Amino acid sequence: MLKYKAHISFLIIILTSTTFFAQDNKRTKDTIDTQVVNVVKPYTPKISDAFKVKQIPSLDDEDNTNRKEVKYNIFSIPVASTFIPSKGKAADVDKAKPVKLFDNYASFGVGSYTSVLGEIYLNHAINRTESVGGYLSHQSSQGGIDGLILDDNFFDTKVDVNYARKLRDYSWVVDAGARHQVFNWYGVPQPLFDSSNTAGIDPKHSYFTFDFGGKIEFEDRLLRNGKMRFRRFADDYDSGENRFMFSTNIDIPLRDEVLNTTLEFDYLGGTFQESFFANDNVNYGNFQIGIIPSYQLKQDDLTLDLGIAAYYLNDTENNKSKFYLYPKITASYRLVDELLITYGGIEGHLVQNSYYDFAGENPYLAPTLLIEPTDQQYDVFIGLKGKLSNNMSYNIKGKYVAENNKALFKSNPVLLGGSKNYQHGNSFQVVYDDVSTFSIFGELNVDVNRNFNLGIKAEYFIYDTKNQAESWNLPDFKSSLFLDYQFDAHWFAGANLYYVGERKDEAQVIDPFLPLTMETVALDSYFDANVHVGYRINERWSAYIKANNIANQAYNKWLNYPVQGIQFLAGATYKFDF
């Protein structure tokens, strides 16, 4: 406003001055006629000309009244209608035919090296609570490995029967089985032996197994379960052992928590009719009693198991007793849900070694063994596991194991003048030593979809022995790969690949100018690839073809024991119900 006032004042002064100047000039000289001049110019507003109204004007209007409330009423008048809607029809959905599941199957196949493979699995439900079942398997080969002097055929037949019953508060099952195995000590060192000096060797060695046992499980009881097993294992050299095992699991209430306790009883007794260097029999026997209490803590993403294992061992042959105490502590923590889980722990165990377990791992043993338990002092491990995606999981673990009196397989020497079939450098013994093992393990499992599965495992080992020169026949590396693929409703295929690293053993030095001595040798690493392809003819019948050791490697799994080359086997499987 001050600005406009200044403009108005300035205009008044100019007009006044002009008036006075004009009048004075007129009095002096008035020679110009009077005329009217109109100056017209459109007004051009500017932003600076605008001003803000600081007051709200009052409104005084007679017509500014409140609106009246209007109420509406709807009068419903029924109208007759003859419209009838048509019934809806569900759209057709393509559904796959459900897979028919059968309780029984039989499989039979024949192949190269005059191989025969057969399996029969039976299961029948007597009623809603009872069922019986059975299993029969046979695998044999007439051998024929190139370059061998002695027979290399083998035979393995097994039969099992079981009866199960499930009641409201508990369930139980009993079973019994028998097994007959035949192997040959065909791995005599060459050229120390040939067809001229092996005519009197009968390499056949047979194993016989009979066992029975049972298991019972309770629902919502302090006594959770109980297991029992008796096994008789013998061979055709009058060797034999008996083993009886019993264990039970009990939950002991501890305030608001539970202390889980496992009780174990394990008896082992056996005899070998002769030792390797003499005709003296070898007896062994011991029983051990163990108690393993454990307590589990869970808090958010942390799971912690705290336990301890206490064992009492009594050597019945040497009248010696000893107590063992081991830690049982494990923990896991979820760092990122299911994607990253870290775990670790420290555990120990008293291992009950037996002739049955040794023969299952190495069937070419001499029936002259020394059987002793292994004191696994501690097994320390730490690892990571989880999922890389919804269909890919992994597991990485590193561990360190300290074992006293660990069992190792080692080749027996050639016994000059020996008359036994296993005294010609073609059998193995068991030696014991304190061994420390460091290993790194990795595993990757991929489930691409329901039709394709892939798994890879690998483990690297470093051993340290106390008395033995080497960790006999223990590999420095192991890996495996398996895959299964379902092409369509009929075709399927799979593969298994194994790689085993270098092992060490002792071999006979063959030199006509030197006495018979033993030297350390390295067994080459080997690769074994096996594949199979099958076709489902219908829901009951399917046919398959298998190829083993497709690389055709004549590797030695044990010293002087080459395996069969590439093998082919074809067969069929039939599924049925009673």
User: Which residue type is seen at 382?
Assistant: I
- pLDDT, tens digit, for every residue of 342-395? 999 999 999 999 999 999 999 999 999 999 999 999 999 999 999 998 899 999
- pLDDT, tens digit, for every residue of 411-467? 998 887 788 999 999 999 999 999 999 999 999 999 988 889 999 999 999 999 999
- pTM reported for the whole predicted model: 0.81
- pLDDT, tens digit, for every residue of 40-57? 556 566 655 555 555 555
User: Which residue type is seen at 50?
Assistant: A
What's the N-to-C CA distance of the chain in angstroms?
Answer: 112
How distant is the alpha carbon of residue 396 from its chain centre? 12
Contact 478, 458 (CB under 8 A): yes
**Which pLDDT value is given to residue 175?**
97
Q: CA 400 to CA 379: how far, in whole Å?
A: 6
For each of the chain's 578 residues, which pLDDT tens digit applies? 444 444 444 444 444 444 444 444 444 444 545 555 565 556 566 655 555 555 555 555 555 556 666 666 665 566 565 656 666 666 666 666 677 788 999 999 999 999 999 999 999 999 999 999 999 999 999 999 999 999 999 999 999 999 999 998 899 999 999 999 999 999 999 888 888 888 889 999 999 999 999 999 998 888 889 999 999 999 999 999 999 999 999 998 887 788 999 999 999 999 999 888 887 889 999 999 999 999 999 988 999 999 999 999 999 998 899 999 999 999 999 999 889 999 999 999 999 999 999 999 999 999 999 999 999 999 999 999 999 988 999 999 999 999 999 999 999 988 877 889 999 999 999 999 999 999 999 999 999 888 899 999 999 999 999 999 999 999 999 999 999 999 988 999 999 999 999 999 998 776 655 666 778 999 999 999 999 999 999 999 999 999 999 999 889 999 999 999 999 999 999 999 98
- Three-state SS string over 288-322 comes to EEEEEEEEEEEECCEEEEEEEEEEEEEECCCCEEE
**Which pLDDT value is given to residue 55?**
53
Q: CA 153 to CA 144: how far, in whole Å?
A: 8
- For 553, phi then psi, to 5°, come to -90, 125
264 Rama class: left (phi>0) / alpha (psi -120 to 50) / beta:
beta
Copy the structure tokens of residue 513: 């100018």
Contact 559, 528 (CB under 8 A): no
β-bridge partners, 287: 267, 314
Contact 104, 132 (CB under 8 A): no
Copy the structure tokens of residue 547: 């190829």
Q: Which domains does the chain have, with CATH numbers?
A: 109-576 (2.40.170.20)
User: Which residue type is seen at 380?
Assistant: V
**Which pLDDT value is given to residue 177?**
97
**Which pLDDT value is given to residue 3?**
44
Taking alpha carbons only, the member of 359, 341, 458 closest to residue 409 is 359
Q: CA 466 to CA 408: how far, in whole Å?
A: 13
**Which pLDDT value is given to residue 165?**
95
Q: How many CB atoms lie within 10 A of CB 101?
A: 8
